[in-house]
Structure 1
Amino acid sequence: MKNYDSYGAEDFIQDEDFRDWVQGRSSQETFWLSFLQQHPQKQEAFHLAERFIRAASVTSDEIGEAEIRKETEQFLGKAAAYIPHRKVIREPIRSARKPSTARYRLGKRVVLAMLMVVLAGLSWYVTTESRTQLMPHLAKRSTANQLVITANDSQQPLRVVLGDSSEVLLSPKSQLRYPSQFAGATRTVYLKGEAQFSVKRRNQPFMVYTGDMVTKVLGTRFVVRAFDLDKKFTVQVLSGKVSVYKPSPNQSPNNKEVKGLILHANQAAIFEKSDGNLTKTLVTNPALTTQEADENQFVYDEVALPLILREVELSYGIPIQFDEQSFETCKITATLSNESLYEKLDVLCKAASASYEITDGQIVITRKSYR
């Protein structure tokens, strides 16, 4: 049994299970995600080790020796500041040299050895030109703020924690490009592939660039899929609100208007790469958006259909359009529980001799006409 109470940053780095988790190869995802709740005093060492392992396995833009040295000195400063906080068991002094000094020098040698590994990895990646070709327009955006690349070459989703504490679940065969710390008016990242974002709410908008499509949020959960070989890019909103648009290269800074879509929970955007067309629809399997709705069944006994549809609309956060007068005399008796939204609609429409279709991210219900 591992004694995590005595773990420092170097212990986490040497822990094979921890390294596998950081690199997306672990089967103990639940354990490490809840680790800091059980060991809050290990937060500093935990995150220092996580950043170190991630830095050794990602690339940065082409940078010179001076920039690498600067980053190294900053890392050394943080690591050196951390070492004195390690618990030292003092023994009786047997010579003029203090044991605490010897331990401090040993710890510093460990840190220097770790830094040599980082520098070796950075040097190798800097000389690999193919890794800088993530997306065509990225080189222009990288000069002002150096970015790092996290690539998921495993078969499992990879968890990435950004500088603002936002979390990204990066799908296999996907890459994310982002600054180590966000600065300026926006938080901007670049995605190639698929990822689920859980964005911390800040005053700075969070921007995800995927080719010619931009997803902009303040704080919410959503999924972006944008593989090179796909004919379409998609954005699916799990909670909150998202705007999706195609940026115009000729847009004036004074013109704030952009042509795009506003998406809410359970709505999705489809971006056609061939013509740049954006359309709004619903996600494949809409989920309940309120805890109350998730805990209760939909039980109706001779209830007017308009009342039922308004409850479904509220529970899923999806607008439902219908003519209330056409359905006000339609009474429904039904119990709906674990069915999907579309299965619920099938039951209700069958009972009311109606049909539904999805238009512009909304559900439109109409009465069937018989001739």
Structure 2
Amino acid sequence: MKPYESYTLEDFLEDESFRKWVQGRGKEEMRWLSFPERYPGQREAFRQAEALIRAANVDEDRISEKEIRTEVERFIESADRGPTGRGPTENPATHLLVGFADDDEAETGRRIFWKRWLLAAAAMLVLGAGIGWYYYEEYGVTTVAAVADNSPADLVTTRNDSGNPLNINLSDGSEVTLSPESSLRYPAEFEEGARTVYLTGEALFSVKKQGQTFMVHTGTVVTKVLGTRFVVSAFDNDRNITVQVKTGKVSVYVDKPSEKEVKGLIITANQAAVFEKSANQLSKTVVENPEKLPDGPVESILKYDEVPLPVILRDIEKSYGIPVQFDADSFWTCKITVAFSDESMYDKLSILCKTVSAGYEIVDGQIVVSGQGCSK
């Protein structure tokens, strides 16, 4: 077993399993997700290495020996001058990077290259974007800080250019699953006050409940929570920005409203807020595929024998957490006998409404069932 309790930044950068996990290609998900909790002493090095690998975004399979020699030698020449530029720092490892005399040296050189390449690539990416790069602990990187125009300082930027969801662990214990073609900007460490991140694209947030609020900025739309699970979709080319709540409760509002006032919304489990960009309009609806609440008071909605329709509708309301509006007096005489299996919430409603010649619609995040009811 590897000595994880003494892992350094360089050890993480050289660990192939860790690199693949950060890039969304690994098979040891649970090991690395739980690593910060199991080895708190290595948490800082863990987060620094994760940020560097994401910034470099280098595919090992596409790196040639020529690229290795050229880029690493160039970076070593610069790095070995030291922070003051007065002369080289002692670094015996550099002698292994020129030539690769045999297979063992080549493998050693490739491992050392990875550490150097990632540092160099991250540095070039940051400097190329016209933002800040703070580093140096001999030839290792200690802090990456992006300072862009009109943006908060000291943010880590993670972009998912792979075809698979990418997991990000924030410093407060919250987890983010970043969808492909999406990016997230966030502080390496949250300070006192609100926890704030900036999303472009789509992500599932599992926010750890704390006294501090957690805010997701997507353009002018802000989603504010204390602790819950929700999905935000805010691709630049989409007409709408949507926020869908899995569990708990969130508030959604427009940070910089125009001359047309846009009121904020409170949405709960299985509800969604939709902001129409062109109309500057924020509305509430129900998600496309509502899921039963994990801690709902109704264990199952399966079989009913001559049960009044209002009782079944209230069970649906409790099971999915979505308000159901109807005229209880009109429907109380409607006795239903039905056996459900794995139908969706919408299918259940359709079956019930057809049975009593009624209908339903979604209005302001609620289900409204209407009809003449049943004769006494």
**Same-fold call, TM cutoff 0.5:** yes
Tell whether the 8 Å contact from 1:355 to 1:368 is kept in structure 2 after alignment: no
**Number of residue-to-residue matches in the alignment:** 304
Tell whether the 8 Å contact from 1:9 to 1:46 is kept in structure 2 after alignment: no
Name the CA distance, whole Å, in 2 between partners of 1:270 and 1:308.
29
Name the CA distance, whole Å, in 2 between partners of 1:250 and 1:28.
48
Name the CA distance, whole Å, in 2 between partners of 1:330 and 1:214.
44
Report the CA distance between 1:274 and its aligned residue. Answer: 0.7
Distance 1:250 1:28, change over 3 A: same
Query: 1:141 and 2:139 equivalent?
Result: no
Tell whether the 8 Å contact from 1:56 to 1:121 is kept in structure 2 after alignment: no
Choose from 137, 155, 159 the match for 2:167: 159
Report the CA distance between 1:266 and its aligned residue. Answer: 0.1
Q: Give the SS at the match of 1:150.
A: strand
- Show the counterpart of 2:194: 186
Report the CA distance between 1:28 and its aligned residue. Answer: 4.0
Distance 1:286 1:13, change over 3 A: same
Q: What amino acid does structure 1 have at the position aligned with 2:150?
A: K
Distance 1:231 1:347, change over 3 A: same
Name the CA distance, whole Å, in 2 between partners of 1:209 and 1:179.
13
- Show the counterpart of 2:248: 240
Name the CA distance, whole Å, in 1 between partners of 2:262 and 2:363.
22
Query: 1:127 and 2:127 equivalent?
Result: yes
Tell whether the 8 Å contact from 1:263 to 1:269 is kept in structure 2 after alignment: yes
1:29-44 map, 5 Å: 29-30=29-30, 32-33=32-33, 40=38, 42-44=39-41
Q: Give the SS at the match of 2:26.
A: coil
Runs (5+) with no aligned partner, structure 1: 60-72, 74-111, 133-137, 252-256
Name the CA distance, whole Å, in 1 between partners of 2:345 and 2:183.
33
Report the CA distance between 1:122 and its aligned residue. Answer: 4.1
1:303-314 map, 5 Å: 303-314=307-318
Runs (5+) with no aligned partner, structure 2: 57-82, 84-111, 133-147
Report the CA distance between 1:336 and its aligned residue. Answer: 1.6
Report the CA distance between 1:248 and its aligned residue. Answer: 3.0
Q: Give a deviation string over 1:64-110, Cα, whole Å, max 9, x none.
A: xxxxxxxxx9xxxxxxxxxxxxxxxxxxxxxxxxxxxxxxxxxxxxx
Tell whether the 8 Å contact from 1:321 to 1:364 is kept in structure 2 after alignment: yes
TM-score (norm 1): 0.73
- The CA RMSD over aligned residues, in Å, is 3.2
Q: What amino acid does structure 1 have at the position aligned with 2:20?
A: D
Query: 1:52 and 2:60 equivalent?
Result: no
Q: What amino acid does structure 1 have at the position aligned with 2:315?
A: E
Name the CA distance, whole Å, in 2 between partners of 1:322 and 1:332.
16
Query: 1:345 and 2:322 equivalent?
Result: no
Tell whether the 8 Å contact from 1:201 to 1:218 is kept in structure 2 after alignment: yes
Name the CA distance, whole Å, in 2 between partners of 1:119 and 1:4.
23
Q: What amino acid does structure 1 have at the position aligned with 2:313?
A: L
- Show the counterpart of 1:22: 22
Tell whether the 8 Å contact from 1:240 to 1:264 is kept in structure 2 after alignment: yes
Tell whether the 8 Å contact from 2:13 to 2:114 is kept in structure 1 after alignment: no
Report percent identity of matched pairs. 50
Q: What amino acid does structure 1 have at the position aligned with 2:124?
A: W
Query: 1:9 and 2:13 equivalent?
Result: no
Name the CA distance, whole Å, in 2 between partners of 1:334 and 1:317.
22
Query: 1:231 and 2:239 equivalent?
Result: yes
Report the CA distance between 1:346 and its aligned residue. Answer: 0.8
Name the CA distance, whole Å, in 1 between partners of 2:29 and 2:191.
30
- Show the counterpart of 2:321: 317
